[in-house]
């Protein structure tokens, strides 16, 4: 009996959420193995077997990290967030100077660890640390009237610094950082006048960035022209796409739509995608289109249902958590996952312009996958503490003293 309880405790936290994570993680191996042939034959990078081994390694590593996060109190993670955010901001600055491209990507978003073949995206870690930092700061100061200079320095400053450093090479992630940060501020009960101030300041900064990128040479090798081209291509109707240049710009979207249509109701079967070789980034940014082609509308519906269960469980965990910091942190991390998931699927079905956002837990690529596992590890960490708080007799609502003490 004791042995059984020990094994069960390996899945510490919400068991339904654990089950969904394990199912999606296991499933991810199949579409990645199929779509990675694009990397072998088109990008001339590795073999399908090597990509399968690499992806499987990151899945196992991610699951291990997710479980390891449960060994620490989530409050301590919050306290460390300001230091970790400072460190990741420094890495973003280094990436601007010596960033690299990998696996056919066109943006210099990766930083190579010296002396190793390992590369990672600092922007993903900076994004995560920023959200955790905001949750802690907003909890710590929830009811105290802040001076405007405090909000500018401690809230607006970090967000806009991270945005500015990320925007040059990763516009979609930079916009997501602003959007999710705004949502965190709203959930963290920041005064509405400061919310409006943040929106105004962000709009000004976006305008200044666009002007400098388009009209001057101060921001070299930026991707603003690429973004503008993608938006222009997206807004054009298919009947307006006539010349070869327009068709080339619309190539990814056309191939993704063709893959989705080709899949039909039941799909072509695992590994039988006919368009994976013609769809750029088929193993990462456009992997949802390959999933629909191979597993059909029915398979895609099951996958989306699993993601919805994940989001619902995250909301339920946040609603049950009596500690405000824990509740805000779970909702904020869940928002990050939901926004990334929505953007990836929306791009695949041509609802929004093309971006470079991976499908959580499935897309090929180590950094984004590991960050998602860390997010889910923190959420599971918080869920495992709910029972502890109940046993300690903590009520559903905390006093201001309790709220200010936990973060």
pLDDT in tens, 241-286: 555 555 556 778 888 888 888 888 988 988 888 888 888 778 888 8
Rounded alpha-carbon distances, angstroms, from residue 90 to 60, 84, 97, 118, 362: 29, 10, 11, 19, 29
List for the chain the helix, strand, coil content (%; round to 5): 70, 0, 30
Show Cβ contacts of residue 26 under 8 Å, excluding neighbours closer than 6 positions. Answer: none
Tokens of 368: 């984004």
Run of H or E residues at 98: helix 74-98
| Residue 267: count of CB within 10 angstroms of its CB | 20
Run of H or E residues at 119: strand 119-120
pTM (whole model) above 0.85 = yes
Three-state secondary structure call for residue 73: coil
DSSP string, 226-283: HHHHHHHHHHS-GGG--SHHHHHHTHHHHHHHHHHHHHTTT-S-TT--SSTTTSTTTT
Nearest to 288 by CA among 264, 257, 315, 310: 257
Run of H or E residues at 120: strand 119-120
Model pLDDT, residue 407 = 46
Run of H or E residues at 182: helix 171-187
Contact yes or no for 133/158 (Cβ under 8 A) = yes
Q: Ramachandran region of residue 12, left (φ > 0), alpha (ψ -120 to 50) or beta?
A: beta
Per-residue pLDDT of the chain (407 residues; tens, 9 = 90+): 444 444 446 778 889 999 999 999 999 999 998 888 877 766 667 688 888 899 999 999 999 999 999 888 888 898 999 999 999 999 988 887 776 665 545 455 677 776 666 777 888 999 999 999 999 999 886 656 677 788 788 889 999 999 988 887 788 888 999 999 999 999 988 888 888 988 998 898 888 888 877 777 767 666 676 777 777 777 765 555 555 555 556 778 888 888 888 888 988 988 888 888 888 778 888 899 999 999 999 999 999 999 999 999 999 999 998 888 999 999 999 999 999 999 999 988 888 888 878 999 999 877 889 999 999 999 999 998 886 655 454 444 454 445 444 44
Distance CA 62, CA 43 (A): 26
| Residue 205: count of CB within 10 angstroms of its CB | 17
Residue in the block written with tokens 């510490």: 12
């Amino acid at each position: 009996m004791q042995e059984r309880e020990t094994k069960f405790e390996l899945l510490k936290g919400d068991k339904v959420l654990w089950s969904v994570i394990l199912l999606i993680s296991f499933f991810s191996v199949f579409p990645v193995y199929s779509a990675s042939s694009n990397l072998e034959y088109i990008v001339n990078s590795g073999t399908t077997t090597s990509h399968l081994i690499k992806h499987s390694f990151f899945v196992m590593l991610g699951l291990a990290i997710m479980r390891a996060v449960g060994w620490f109190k989530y409050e301590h993670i919050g306290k460390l967030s300001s230091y970790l955010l400072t460190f990741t901001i420094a890495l973003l600055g280094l990436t601007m100077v010596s960033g690299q491209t990998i696996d056919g990507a066109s943006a210099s978003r990766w930083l190579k660890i010296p002396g190793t073949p390992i590369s990672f995206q600092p922007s993903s870690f900076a994004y995560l640390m920023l959200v955790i930092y905001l949750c802690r700061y907003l909890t710590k100061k929830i009811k105290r009237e802040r001076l405007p200079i405090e909000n500018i320095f401690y809230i607006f400053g970090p967000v806009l610094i991270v945005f500015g450093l990320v925007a040059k090479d990763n516009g979609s992630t930079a916009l997501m950082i602003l959007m999710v940060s705004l949502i965190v501020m709203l959930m963290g009960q920041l005064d509405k006048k400061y919310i409006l101030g943040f929106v105004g300041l962000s709009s000004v900064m976006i305008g200044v960035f666009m002007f400098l990128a388009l009209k001057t040479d101060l921001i070299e090798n930026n991707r603003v022209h690429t973004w503008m081209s993608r938006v222009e291509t997206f807004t054009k109707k298919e009947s307006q796409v006539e010349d070869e240049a327009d068709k080339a710009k619309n190539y990814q979207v056309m191939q993704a739509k063709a893959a989705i249509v080709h899949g039909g109701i039941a799909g072509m079967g695992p590994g039988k995608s006919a368009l994976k070789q013609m769809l750029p980034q088929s193993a990462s940014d456009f992997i949802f289109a390959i999933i629909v082609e191979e597993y059909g509308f029915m398979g895609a519906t099951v996958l989306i249902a699993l993601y919805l269960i994940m989001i619902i469980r995250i909301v339920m965990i946040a609603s049950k958590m009596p500690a405000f910091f824990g509740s805000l942190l779970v909702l904020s991390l869940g928002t990050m996952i939901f926004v990334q998931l929505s953007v990836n699927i929306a791009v695949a079905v041509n609802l929004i312009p093309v971006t470079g956002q991976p499908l959580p837990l499935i897309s090929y690529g180590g950094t984004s996958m590991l960050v998602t596992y860390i997010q889910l590890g923190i959420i599971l960490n918080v869920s495992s503490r709910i029972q502890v708080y109940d046993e300690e007799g903590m009520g559903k609502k905390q006093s201001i003293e309790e709220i200010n003490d936990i973060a």
